[in-house]
């Protein structure tokens, strides 16, 4: 076959010798679980019935959750791309590149929590990406209307004129300067060219000066003037009132002949801050993304979108090409709505105390899940997104989880050249432009229906009908900018389908899960791509409090979906969602509910130690065999998963520990906040996760920040430690015979303490003494539990006289 006609990607088959053992272990473990629960249910603990019943309910919930996890893992797949074939097909020598245009979205809110230097590095990595410059446009959404962000972006555009040609001339990686210069490698290796050494030193000096200017802007922004900020011409900054300001758009690069220092064209760089007015619902990040969809459709109208958070830079300059291998594949491209990449992070401490890498999910679980006919879960809203339209801008696709769609329906307009050409004269009423195309009249909506769906902008509506994107030749920049300001106004989405069936879907702080789910319900497919060099890297919150707040937001989004009409348990039947995809999505929205049985189960050891009771009766030989078989099957499952996903035991253990920490804190608060929103209409404010501009020595790791999220795991930790002390003291007091029954309870309690150990290190920080709040909380809990232990024993009948042998020989 001609190489130019070959597929641009392929599935890598998984050998049966590797997958079948795991499947066998899954089946055996389910059978053992059946025997385990048969024994547990038929052998209650009569003198501790409440403890026994609680433990059995919790264990059944954990077992069901684990089984749901296994469904998507049954058919894992891997994929590889052929970048050479992509170039051969779409970049023929002597002809203009036929690669599709891409609009890149960068979202930021608060420059105090999301340092401008990090945002600048992300933007620079986008502008220097290995893709035709005329086909890339970068849009920065400033939802905080901060003048600091605006000025930092202006400085970034100037530095880009020097940085971009350097990157492309010497093909460096990564193309975010902060991380490129931070690499602890010999940059002279295989780079003996004197010109490279000279230019690298020069560009590093330029970057250091650029950092000084950015840091000076940040220092100046620490104190806001009484009259607000003013621009260079003396006029007040329009965004002085964050909650009440007009829409703002500024094109920094890509117009007025601005080129790099070598005279080459640069990608377009656009600053966007949508209008904010009191009394309007702005829908947080999802609303900001929808505003960017409309602005980009009017200014550049690329058929594909890539969405990144301000701290997620492009680590692999060929990442866009990797995605295009799927999206532009002539065979399968029209069925794919988005491409996903695993998340990778910089600046994580060596021990990854709070499981920020999350490799068990991204390298193991995610690969299994995406084997479900290319479907899967999406937890992280920071995942990049890529949207494609093969029939105009109606089809949207995502890259790495976050997804958006301009029209969620799988309608194919099949526009003829006549239909494509009539949008050139978009200035008049749309219905007059449609008149005369009788053969496609039944497929077109009237102007009123278009406006009800997309809003009252004939320019935007016309852009959605462009076959391959692009703009009308007759359109002037002034006209387009005026219309772009209109589509980011507060009232534009009123009485339209935006946020319901068009654009990012509203109703959850994790808009990526909800939007991706609806796209799969309409029959679209997604793929998971794991290039050898990570495509994107970001900054992870390594501080315990920030990490818990991040997990809280993700869990809250799942809870909001669970209590909404879009819950995958009952939504989307009769569409294109497959059974295993549905199981995967159900698991992604119900997991916060596990916090209740998890907290109850972690509290049981302390109760057992304080009361002298246990959740299991005296174990027989048959019960011992079942328990041992269960432990062996759990270990075998973990080993095979680690072997398959290439996950180390350290990463696996960190993931297990943070599952308990997050489940006992963030997931519980997410469940409570979700219930408050549904039952009482109490909305939760969005908390932006702080991104550190400099992670040197991991100083932020040891900062103790008190938050209410710390209360549940701290309580569990303290009561289990008290329980261990009480249990051991009681055994010492009662003699040798009491040690045997104690070991089971001690093992149970130590299991909880070991899992919460990273949490203990986090709350202790790097200080010599114990934080006052922890000391007070420990004394309070110890006092309460001691009084309960001494005065109350709920497992003894209150009307009966209890006689016990004192153990003393009075003869």
- The catalytic site residues sit at 143, 512
B/e letters for 397-435, b = 16+ CB within 10 Å, e = fewer, are bbbbbbbbbbbbebeebebeeebbebbeebeeebeebbe
Annotated binding-site ranges for Mn(2+): 285, 309
Going by DSSP bridges, is the β-strand pair 525-528/336-340 parallel, antiparallel, or unpaired?
parallel
Which residues are within 8 A (CB) of 136 and not within 5 positions of it... i.e. 6 or more apart? Answer: 101, 102, 104, 126, 127, 129, 267, 268, 320
Closest among 761, 748, 758 to 609, alpha carbons compared: 748
Cα of first residue to Cα of last residue in the chain, in angstroms, is: 102
Tell me the chain's radius of gyration from C-alpha atoms. Answer: 30
The token pair that represents 155 in the structure block: 């400085």
Report the C-alpha gap between 765 and 747 in whole angstroms: 27
The single residue listed with the structure tokens 């549940």 is: 712
Q: Is 123:269 a contact under the CB 8 Å cutoff?
A: yes
> How many other C-beta atoms lie within 10 A of the C-beta of residue 170?
14
Q: Is 605:753 a contact under the CB 8 Å cutoff?
A: no
Report the C-alpha gap between 800 and 796 in whole angstroms: 8
| C-alpha torsion 452→455→457→459, nearest 10 | -90
Going by DSSP bridges, is the β-strand pair 136-142/268-273 parallel, antiparallel, or unpaired?
parallel
Report the C-alpha gap between 325 and 331 in whole angstroms: 11
Closest among 189, 159, 155, 154 to 172, alpha carbons compared: 189
Annotated binding-site ranges: 107, 113-114, 143, 284-285, 309
DSSP category for residue 259 = B
Annotated binding-site ranges for UDP-alpha-D-glucose: 107, 113-114, 143, 284
Which residues are within 8 A (CB) of 447 and not within 5 positions of it... i.e. 6 or more apart? Answer: 429, 430, 431
Which residues are within 8 A (CB) of 505 and not within 5 positions of it... i.e. 6 or more apart? Answer: 286, 499, 511, 514, 515, 518, 566
């Amino acid at each position: 076959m001609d190489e130019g006609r070959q597929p641009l990607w392929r599935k890598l088959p998984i050998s049966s010798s590797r997958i079948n053992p795991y499947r066998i272990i899954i089946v055996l473990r389910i059978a053992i679980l059946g025997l385990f629960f048969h024994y547990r249910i038929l052998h209650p603990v009569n003198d501790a019935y409440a403890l026994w019943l609680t433990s059995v309910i919790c264990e059944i919930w954990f077992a069901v959750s684990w089984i749901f996890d296994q469904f998507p893992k049954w058919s894992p797949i891997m994929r590889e791309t052929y970048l050479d074939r992509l170039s051969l097909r779409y970049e023929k020598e002597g002809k203009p590149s036929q690669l599709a245009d891409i609009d890149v979205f960068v979202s930021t809110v608060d420059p105090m929590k999301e340092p401008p230097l990090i945002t600048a590095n992300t933007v620079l990595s986008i502008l220097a990406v290995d893709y035709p410059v005329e086909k890339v446009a970068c849009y920065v959404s400033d939802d905080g209307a901060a003048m600091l962000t605006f000025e930092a972006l202006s400085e970034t555009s100037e530095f880009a004129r020097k940085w971009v040609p350097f990157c492309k001339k010497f093909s460096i990686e990564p193309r975010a300067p902060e991380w490129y210069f931070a690499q602890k490698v010999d940059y002279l290796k295989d780079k003996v060219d004197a010109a490279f050494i000279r230019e690298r030193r020069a560009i590093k000096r330029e970057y250091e000066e650029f950092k000084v200017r950015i840091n000076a802007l940040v220092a100046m922004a620490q104190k806001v003037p009484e009259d607000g900020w003013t621009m260079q011409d003396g006029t007040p900054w329009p965004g002085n009132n964050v909650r009440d300001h007009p829409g703002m758009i500024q094109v920094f690069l890509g117009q007025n002949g601005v080129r790099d220092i070598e005279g080459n064209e640069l990608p377009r760089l656009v600053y966007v801050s949508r209008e904010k007015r009191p009394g309007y619902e702005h829908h947080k990040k999802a609303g900001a993304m929808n505003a960017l969809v409309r602005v980009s459709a009017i200014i550049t109208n690329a058929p594909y979108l890539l969405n990144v958070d301000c701290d997620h830079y492009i680590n692999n300059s060929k990442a866009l090409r990797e995605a295009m291998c799927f999206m532009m594949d002539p065979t399968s491209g029209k069925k794919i709505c988005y491409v996903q990449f695993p998340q990778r992070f910089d600046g994580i401490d060596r021990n990854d105390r709070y499981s920020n890498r999350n490799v068990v999910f991204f390298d193991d679980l995610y690969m299994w899940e995406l084997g479900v006919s290319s479907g899967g879960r999406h937890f992280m809203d920071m995942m990049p997104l890529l949207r494609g339209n093969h029939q105009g801008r109606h089809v949207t696709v995502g890259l790495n989880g976050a997804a958006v769609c301009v029209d969620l329906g799988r309608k194919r307009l099949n526009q003829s050249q006549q239909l494509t050409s009539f949008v050139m004269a978009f200035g008049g009423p749309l219905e007059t432009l449609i008149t005369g195309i009788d053969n496609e009249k039944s497929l077109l909506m009237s102007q009123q229906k278009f406006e009800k769906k997309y809003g009252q902008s004939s320019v935007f509506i016309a852009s959605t009908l462009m076959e391959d994107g692009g703009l009308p030749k007759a359109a002037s920049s002034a006209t387009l900018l005026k219309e772009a300001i209109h589509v980011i106004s507060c009232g534009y989405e009123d009485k339209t389908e935006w946020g319901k069936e068009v654009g990012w879907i509203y109703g959850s702080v994790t808009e990526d899960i909800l939007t991706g789910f609806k796209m799969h319900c309409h029959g679209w497919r997604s793929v998971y791509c794991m290039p050898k060099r990570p495509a994107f890297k970001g900054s992870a919150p390594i501080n315990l409090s920030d990490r818990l707040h991040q997990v809280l937001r993700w869990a809250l989004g799942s809870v909001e979906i669970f209590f909404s009409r879009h819950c995958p348990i009952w939504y989307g039947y009769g569409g294109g969602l497959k059974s295993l995809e549905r199981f995967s999505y159900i698991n992604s929205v119900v997991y916060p509910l596990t916090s209740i049985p998890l907290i109850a189960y972690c509290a049981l050891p302390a109760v057992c130690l304080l009361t002298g009771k246990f959740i299991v009766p005296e174990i027989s030989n048959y019960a011992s065999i079942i328990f041992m078989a269960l432990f062996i099957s759990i270990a075998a499952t973990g080993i095979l998963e680690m072997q398959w996903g290439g996950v180390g035991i350290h990463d696996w253990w960190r993931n297990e520990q943070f599952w308990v920490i997050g489940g006992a804190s963030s997931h519980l608060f997410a469940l409570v906040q979700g219930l408050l929103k549904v039952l009482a209409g109490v909305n939760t404010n969005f908390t932006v996760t702080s991104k550190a501009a400099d992670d040197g020595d991991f100083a932020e790791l040891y900062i103790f920040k008190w938050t209410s999220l710390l209360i549940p795991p701290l309580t569990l930790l303290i009561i289990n430690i008290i329980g261990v002390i009480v249990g051991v003291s009681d055994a010492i007091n009662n003699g040798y015979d009491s040690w045997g029954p104690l070991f089971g309870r001690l093992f149970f309690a130590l299991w909880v303490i070991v899992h919460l150990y990273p949490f203990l290190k986090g709350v202790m920080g790097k200080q010599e003494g114990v934080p006052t709040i922890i000391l007070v909380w420990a004394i309070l809990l110890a006092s309460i539990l001691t009084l309960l232990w001494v005065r109350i024993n709920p497992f003894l009948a209150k009307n009966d006289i209890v006689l016990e042998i004192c153990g003393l020989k009075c003869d």
